[in-house]
Chain A
Amino acid sequence: MQEPDPRTVARAQGGDLGAFEDLVRAYQADVFRFAWHLTRDRTMAEDVTQDAFLRVYRFFGTYRGDSRFSSWLFRIARNCAMDAMRRQRSHVARHERERPPVGYWTDPIARAELDAALSSVSDDHREPFLLIEVFGLSYQEAADVLGVRVGTVKSRMHRARAALCRALADEDEEEEAR
């Protein structure tokens, strides 16, 4: 994921609403995707995205630039998602009901396979997978977002990848058997 121009971040921190809007426009899609994968609820993901940027705005003064802006943003987004899910504890039911945003993957078969595969791994494993594989964060950055040690991220990431590869391989075998 591309980092923003530090001047834009500085302007936004200085109260420049235009610069802040530039950041919103640049990162809203990634935050929404991340939020959707955590909540599996489109409406909740929209609310989480809004809430995340609102918190960024409120606490921009505490961002010192010693971590990547995207890592800081995802950490906030994750906290917002956790709060939202705590407020609506029925997210497990939604988990099974909702599908990913339309158009997320271009190939509908791949989309269905990945949806099923991602659903099969636990939240603890899905989060590092999304941050690293989908959004391109490093282990250290994902560890910062998730608040765990780098070693934990590394092992969870590998287990998630192995599980997803297994799930996809199983799908292939079933397809061939048909």
Chain B
Amino acid sequence: MNCSRARASLSERMDGERLSARHAAALDEHVASCVACLAFRANAERLRQSVRIRPAEQIPDLADRIMASVEAEGGGPRARRRPASHRGSVGRTGRRTPVAAALVVGLVAGSVAVGGPWWRPSGNAVTADFVVKGVRAAARHLDAYQASFRIVERGLPGIARRTFSMRVAFASPGRYRLDVTDETSYPDARTPTDLTFIANGTAMYRRGTLPCPTVIDASACLPSREPVSTSSPYATQASLATDLVVPVDVLANPGRITVTGTGTVLGRDAVRVELPFERAAPLFAFRDVGGTWRPVFGEDRVVLWVDAQRWFPLRATVYPSPGSDRTEWARLFGLPPEDPSRPIVQLAATSIRLVTPPEADFVIPGGVVQPEVPAADLRREVGFEPLTPGYLADLAPASAVVPPDDAGPSAPDALITYASGVSYLRVGERREAGAVTPLGGADLAAERVQLANGVAYYEPATDTRGRRLTIHAGDRDLVLETNLSRDELLQIAATLPVTGERLPRAWLSAKASAGTLTLAQARRHTSFPLRLPTLLPEGYAVETVHLTNTDGVTGVTVTFAPADPNGADRRIDLHVEPATILPATTSELVKVSVDGVPGRWDPHRDELDWIEGGRLLSLRAPGRPLSTVMAMALTIPPAGS
């Protein structure tokens, strides 16, 4: 055998080719005595070793970009084969071939096992309504949960990519913990966004850097490392959305949710839904704990995968929305135009276990102890028998708290929490003849609803609390707060042994039902100068004047409306209340100056806030740019003038 033939054979053998026994023996004999072929073999093996060392971390992650382009292929050949009857409910990217249909059948079976009778067979299609029902049912059945997530954020000015790990623990009732660890290598000495949030009943603890109110000017961010720690002010409010456990707030109703497919994620059958970020925000509630996060436009598209049996979220990806509105919004934050196919925030579960976390996870640092009262002692502690709804939507009593006497005028005398899984209902009750403020700081402009047992006042959920219903019944006031649906809340309230009355005359005079409260009357209720802008869009005039009451602080909201009766959605609101600092917020805001006074602009709400003369002024003009709102603001006379 010559060297040329021997090296070709060595090469073939290295590549897995089988040589005949005779050929192999001849090859080995030649190589054993040939220095040059030995060297060739050594070099070839070294070459192999070199090229097969492939650290993967520097290779770009293109998966989301690829999937976005795949999803944009909604009109592909298989999509065209989708039965016409499915088009309405599945959306443009949801294909329903036999395999997928089989998956759906399995998914439905699994959901029934969890959810019971709420599911009614209606064919193969997974509808938004089906998802909503599944989530609501799962919310009552998930009692223990531990998960790890990975968060990738792109596009924060100055830092192309940030990565975080997050641990989430939940145990029913009412124990929730979230730890975010910032794993980003920052090019400067900025404080990492490391966060801890613990809720245990009504006690709450936060630790983390303070939110940065603007991302335009990094120097405006507070460089604080101080922990933020607090306990609940005995309000009925929820602490932080637990949508990472079950997305009960996000998927509580089918509005603006599109089911776009089924699949497998983390080896689990999963359903894929799409919704705007403003609907999906409770999934990203960790951003509200503190730290600095990139801004996200309310209409940005969120692709969410949820487990098809337990309904916990598995993956959520945020894509920039197209359109000039977003471009305009992005400019305010110094963001470049962003490609709608490239994700800006990715949240992905890396492990999920349905086991009870250790109790130590939920210990509130600093010795804050939840002042729970045994049910048997409640009557003695508060001096009356707190009312209990006859219907509790399968929730069970979880805790009772009696706030101290100095908890404030809007605190209840007793606060009872009912829970099951992540679903909760809190019933706060106060007995006080001649109370001057509504219980729980309820918004006096709440919607009045008629129940079988009288009237009540309903307020939808906000970013920081659940749906709320206020009932006034003589010397009793009740506030019910929950993450159950509105219908369930009203059903529960209707079984309370009280007769709901209209709010007291004193409150009604402050409520300012349309046109009844004049500016002069409002001024009599306030201790601060109430002056209006002299510049308003043509045809605008004062429509209503409302007094507001938030935790005992009285403010005034003046609404200006156009003469055109169809212009209701173009109303402008001016709110004024006593304050010396801008209230804390976790919204992404733009720092501005209003006639030399520091202020901030919320481009999500088209709202300008500033402090002047011991007043917080807040001017909101939906659909109008900062320049227009600023022009109006500058015409409001200062407090001392």
Q: Which residues of A contact B (CB under 8 A)?
A: 8, 10-11, 13-22, 24-25, 28-29, 32-33, 46, 49-50, 53-54, 57-58, 61, 101-107, 110, 114, 132-134, 138-139, 154-155, 157-158, 161-162, 164-165, 168-169
Contacts and interface: CB of A to CB of B under 8 A. Distances in A.
Contacts of A61: 77-78
A102 B61 contact: no
A110 B51 CA distance: 9
A7 to B, nearest CB: 9
B264 A11 contact: yes
A1 to B, nearest CB: 11
Q: For A18, A19, A61, A110, which residue has the most chain B Cβ atoms within 10 angstroms?
A: A18
A18 B265 contact: yes
Contacts of A101: 58-59
A49 B65 CA distance: 10
B93 to A, nearest CB: 7
Contact of A168 (B46, B54, B265): B46
A49 B99 contact: no
26 contacts: A16-B99, A16-B264, A17-B70, A18-B263, A18-B305, A19-B264, A21-B63, A24-B66, A24-B67, A32-B59, A32-B62, A50-B66, A53-B69, A53-B70, A54-B73, A57-B70, A57-B76, A103-B55, A103-B57, A154-B17, A157-B11, A162-B11, A162-B40, A165-B40, A168-B47, A169-B39
A125 to B, nearest CB: 12
Nearest to B59: A29
Nearest to A101: B58
6 A-B pairs with least C-beta separation: A18-B263, A14-B99, A103-B58, A15-B95, A165-B43, A158-B11
Given A28-B66, A139-B15, A13 B99 contact: yes
B66 A54 contact: yes
A10 B70 CA distance: 17
Given A17-B70, A19-B264, A28 B63 contact: yes
B53 A105 contact: yes
A58 B78 CA distance: 8
Given A58-B77, A169-B39, 12 more contacts: A11-B263, A14-B97, A15-B96, A16-B103, A17-B263, A17-B272, A18-B261, A46-B65, A53-B70, A58-B73, A107-B50, A114-B47
A19 B70 CA distance: 13
A21 B53 contact: no
B52 interface: yes
A29 B39 CA distance: 33
B339 to A, nearest CB: 12
Given A18-B263, A162-B40, A169-B39, A29 B56 contact: yes
Contact of A161 (B44, B55, B265): B44
Given A16-B264, A134-B52, A161 B11 contact: yes
Nearest to B270: A18
Contacts of A106: 53, 55
Contacts of A17: 67, 70-71, 93, 261, 263, 272
Contacts of A134: 51-52, 54
A107 B264 CA distance: 38
Interface string B248-277: 000000000000011111000010100000
Nearest to A36: B59
B117 interface: no
A164 B42 CA distance: 12
B48 interface: yes
B51 A133 contact: yes
A20 B71 CA distance: 11
A24 B76 contact: no
Nearest to A172: B43
Contacts, number: 153
B43 A33 contact: no
Contacts of B76: 57-58
Contacts of A14: 97-100
A105 B40 CA distance: 22
Contact of B58 (A102, A133, A154): A102
B486 interface: no
A132 B263 contact: no
Contact of B50 (A19, A102, A105, A139): A105
B7 interface: yes
Given A21-B67, A24-B66, A158 B54 contact: no
B358 interface: no
A18 B264 contact: yes
Q: For A16, A28, A33, which residue has the most chain B Cβ atoms within 10 angstroms?
A: A16
Contacts of A20: 67, 70, 263
A107 B51 CA distance: 11
B12 interface: yes
Contacts of A154: 12, 17
Nearest to B71: A17
Contact of A114 (B12, B51, B100): B51
B16 interface: yes
A157 B15 contact: yes
Contacts of B263: 11, 16-21
Contacts of A53: 66, 69-70
Interface in B1-19: 7-8, 11-12, 14-17
A161 B51 CA distance: 12
A44 to B, nearest CB: 13
A42 to B, nearest CB: 8
B60 interface: yes
A169 B7 CA distance: 15
Contacts of B270: 18
A128 B43 CA distance: 18
Contact of A15 (B8, B62, B97): B97
B419 to A, nearest CB: 32
A40 to B, nearest CB: 15
Contacts of B69: 50, 53-54
Nearest to A50: B66
A25 B62 CA distance: 8
B54 A104 contact: yes
B71 A46 contact: no
A139 B39 CA distance: 24
Contacts of A164: 47
Contacts of A46: 60, 62, 65
B43 A168 contact: yes
A61 B77 CA distance: 9
B468 to A, nearest CB: 37
A125 B458 CA distance: 74
Contacts of B47: 114, 133, 161, 164-165, 168
